[in-house]
Amino acid sequence: MQKKGLIVLVILLTISNCWGQNNIGAIGQWREHHNNQSVKNVVKGDKIYGASKYQLFSVDSKNNIEYIGKSNGLNEVGIQTIKWHTLSQQLIVAYNNSSIDIIHGDQVFGINDIQLSNLYPNNKINDISVLDKWVLLATNFGIVILDVEKKEIKDTWFPNNNRKAVITYQTATTADSLYVVTEEGLFSTSIKNNWILPNQWIHLAAFKALGIKGVANQKNTIYAYSDNSIFQLPNTQPYAIFTTAKIKQVIADTASILVALQHGNNKGSVVNINYNKTITTIVDTTILVHPTALLLEDQGYWIADSVKGLLHKTTSLNWLPLSGPTQSIETRSAINDKILITPFGNDKIGFATYTAAGWTNYTNFNTTANLPILNDAVLDSKDGSVWFTADNSLVHIDVVARKMETIVPSIVTGKLVDVQIGTDGSIWTLKEGQGILVSNKNTWNLITPPSDYEKQGFQSFLLSSYGQAWIIVPNAQGLYAYQSAQNYSTAAWKKFTTARGNGNLPSNTITCITEDKIGNIWIGTDKGVGIINCGDLTTNSCDAYTPIVTNNGFAGTLFQNTTINTIAIDGANRKWVGTNNGAWLLSSDGTTIIEHFIATTSPLPTDTITQILVDPIMGEVFFNTPQGMVSFRGTSTEAAATQESILIYPNPVAPDYSGPIAFKGLVENAMVKITDLSGRLVFQTRSLGGQAIWNGRSYEGQKIATGIYLVFVRSDDGEEKNVGKLLITNGL
């Protein structure tokens, strides 16, 4: 059993309609950026609790939203369902991998007995119900009894009389009986002292052919329901029938029955069946898309929708402004010091932005018509506008000025793949099956590779700061590089492969490519990393080399036989590498491993990293994965060109603060000296890019005394220098 402290992240509902998960944290802290509008469940406890796929959130009586995820207490991601246990005042969270978290106050207790059990081929938890001090977990092999006070598994009940495993979907109890929906039909048994006797199960055979999928209890009366009908036990004649909609959930209170319905064409509704069987619509199909769960409490109705979020209906309808991108991010995003742009891609319309104000989602932009399906994105460093590829067109959007234009190069037809911006402002894009399209002053030119070059299946390319286009070749055929006569003496194409003297790549299967701050081209493959530093293609051989990395005293080839999914460069020219075995931070030359994050030891939702982006100013590192995006506050930022000021954070240092102290806005590799007012040197370090870090202790590891300290910053040549002050209030 694992026990964790819970760190609550609060956002007030009274803020604007752009929502961040939480304010950026201290160096070394994590944040999660999940789609919280895909709500799976809602329950009432000491607060209203909702569950999205990867996070929990709660709403208190003052309308504050709190987010709870793996970064601040939970042990897992991938929530299956939740339930409130009233007697113990605890929230039970069941995950897709069959592990369980019990949240009690600010503590989280993890139970992984079911997850680790190998007695049954499938341990999935389907539903949770409460029986006095017990919690009943309906699983794919039976009913697991959980004692939430002792935090332990007590027993397993098999809802049949042969004690064989059976898929159990849902349970409901009356004062003296337990009803269970299984793959073999509907069963019941008597309850005595909150326990059952073995071999006392009754098969309600008359309901087997009715397709029962769920049960609910209303004042000791059990209602069972199928896709289209509700039955009041023991009657097999329908209590209510819905011929044009599918029943998603039934809940029963003391006066009526609430039913969530799924209609065709992405429309949902909630209706109320009164005691006289009349049906009243609570929320109609113009409001809901995919209702997934219902809750009735004193303040009205709470309705979970897997597309639109959580709806609170009282005398009015109010959608909670839940944070995060509303779709999974499956294409290449872009980032600068002000904004992160994430096109949804594939078959999903629109894009999302993340700024200091939080997440904003767009399905249209200054028009009533929907945006097209947007794929790759790149930000223009000159004006901050963004370019997207969209099938055979480019979409150019200025998010701040709210302007959009669609550009369809008329020179050839075909799908556009990836888009890059040259240092001269030219727009470059790959044309599937054709080559490179370049626009300079609104004139498009097609640059065609040699006739023997493969042109079908282009996916991405890199436009280097030296004006060379590096194209990942489809079908495991290496790299193409192109240079124009505008930047070099001769326009030329060159093909790079694993052959020595012709590229020396680790593999011909190229997965990603990026350029570091000194012009080296870092090439990710399915067999590790290769580095090329290439000048003129017509005169240089440009063979790649693979760094030898030192780790735990052993030296070896960097990521040998490892698939590299993405590489990003931080402000200190260090390399963040995303693999199927987590994220790695390497020194600038790639010879030293600084960090390695995996899902079991960090808030990463999975070990598969598909893209990494680095905020150049704040040093925040964003990791996109198939299970959502998370971010980590790194230790380096972009260096300033001149030493005009020193930003010290936090300053003053509060008595309860124990994290690192950051000095930002520094020039590259600046010397940072911290002294007391008498001039005695307390600590000295160098900046990583434009940021230096201090733990608030002396060289000997002693806590620094309360007082005012001077911070001296200078470049190696002495041309750039500045002085700042730091107040420490948590010292000796």
| Residue 227 to residue 235: CA distance in whole angstroms | 17
pLDDT at residue 720 in the model:
85
**Nearest residue to 229 (alpha-carbon basis) of 203, 204, 259, 253:** 259
Record the tokens describing residue 556, joined without a space: 């070896």
328 has a pLDDT exceeding 70: yes
What does DSSP say about strands 468-472 and 479-483: parallel, antiparallel, or unpaired?
Answer: antiparallel
Average pLDDT over residues 606-617: 96
**Nearest residue to 30 (alpha-carbon basis) of 22, 38, 39, 19:** 22
16 has a pLDDT exceeding 60: no
pLDDT at residue 474 in the model:
86
Residues 714 and 651 occupy one common structural domain: yes
pLDDT at residue 23 in the model:
63
Tens digit of each residue's pLDDT (9 = 90 or more) over 111-128: 999 999 999 999 999 999
Residues 315 and 340 occupy one common structural domain: no
Average pLDDT over residues 238-267: 91
3 has a pLDDT exceeding 80: no
Residues 347 and 298 occupy one common structural domain: no
- State which H helix or E strand residue 84 sits in: strand 79-85
Residues 352 and 394 occupy one common structural domain: yes
User: How does residue 17 score in pLDDT terms, banded at 50, 70 and 90?
Assistant: very low
Secondary structure in 3-state letters for 719-732: CCEEEEEEEECCCC
User: How does residue 81 score in pLDDT terms, banded at 50, 70 and 90?
Assistant: very high
User: How does residue 2 score in pLDDT terms, banded at 50, 70 and 90?
Assistant: low
Q: End-to-end CA distance of the chain: give it in Å, rounded.
A: 37
The answer to whether 293 and 40 are in contact (CB under 8 A) is yes
User: How does residue 550 score in pLDDT terms, banded at 50, 70 and 90?
Assistant: confident
pLDDT at residue 50 in the model:
96
| Residue 277 to residue 619: CA distance in whole angstroms | 60
Q: For residue 385, what are the domain limits?
A: 326-408
Looking at the domain assignment, is residue 135 inside a domain? no
21 has a pLDDT exceeding 60: no
Count of the separate structural domains present in the chain: 3
Query: 207 phi and psi, to 5 degrees?
Result: -95, -5
Tens digit of each residue's pLDDT (9 = 90 or more) over 403-449: 899 998 877 678 999 999 998 899 999 999 899 999 987 789 999 99
Residues 330 and 283 occupy one common structural domain: no
pTM exceeding the 0.85 threshold for the entire prediction: yes
Residues 352 and 365 occupy one common structural domain: yes
| Residue 160 to residue 219: CA distance in whole angstroms | 26
pLDDT at residue 15 in the model:
27
pLDDT at residue 414 in the model:
81
- Torsional sign, CA 114, 116, 121, 126: positive
Longest dimension (CA), the chain: 91
Tens digit of each residue's pLDDT (9 = 90 or more) over 345-361: 888 999 999 998 899 99
Residues 717 and 655 occupy one common structural domain: yes
684 has a pLDDT exceeding 50: yes
User: How does residue 6 score in pLDDT terms, banded at 50, 70 and 90?
Assistant: low
Tens digit of each residue's pLDDT (9 = 90 or more) over 515-548: 999 999 999 999 999 999 988 998 877 899 998 8
Looking at the domain assignment, is residue 684 inside a domain? yes
| Residue 175 to residue 210: CA distance in whole angstroms | 25
| Residue 697 to residue 728: CA distance in whole angstroms | 11
pLDDT at residue 20 in the model:
38
Residues 314 and 378 occupy one common structural domain: no
| Residue 103 to residue 607: CA distance in whole angstroms | 25
The answer to whether 135 and 128 are in contact (CB under 8 A) is yes
pLDDT at residue 13 in the model:
36
| Residue 434 to residue 432: CA distance in whole angstroms | 5
Q: What CA–CA distances, in Å, run from 274 to 238, 257, 279?
A: 15, 7, 6
Looking at the domain assignment, is residue 513 inside a domain? no
Range in 7-11, 480-484, 693-697 with the lowest mean pLDDT: 7-11
In three-state secondary structure terms, 205 is helix
Looking at the domain assignment, is residue 333 inside a domain? yes
Residue 688's domain is classified under what CATH number? 2.60.40.3080
The mean pLDDT of the chain is 91
Pick from 391, 408, 425: which residue ends a domain?
408
pLDDT at residue 703 in the model:
86
Pick from 408, 425, 455: which residue ends a domain?
408
Looking at the domain assignment, is residue 215 inside a domain? no
Average pLDDT over residues 296-319: 92
pLDDT at residue 12 in the model:
39
The answer to whether 19 and 358 are in contact (CB under 8 A) is yes
Range in 193-202, 300-309, 515-524 with the lowest mean pLDDT: 193-202
Looking at the domain assignment, is residue 316 inside a domain? yes
What does DSSP say about strands 100-104 and 377-379: parallel, antiparallel, or unpaired?
Answer: unpaired
Residues 695 and 675 occupy one common structural domain: yes
pLDDT at residue 409 in the model:
86
Average pLDDT over residues 212-235: 94
Residues 287 and 309 occupy one common structural domain: yes
Record the tokens describing residue 633, joined without a space: 């506050």
731 has a pLDDT exceeding 80: no
Pick from 408, 432, 452: which residue ends a domain?
408
The answer to whether 149 and 193 are in contact (CB under 8 A) is no
Average pLDDT over residues 603-630: 95
Report the share of the chain in percent with pLDDT over 70.
96
The answer to whether 565 and 576 are in contact (CB under 8 A) is no
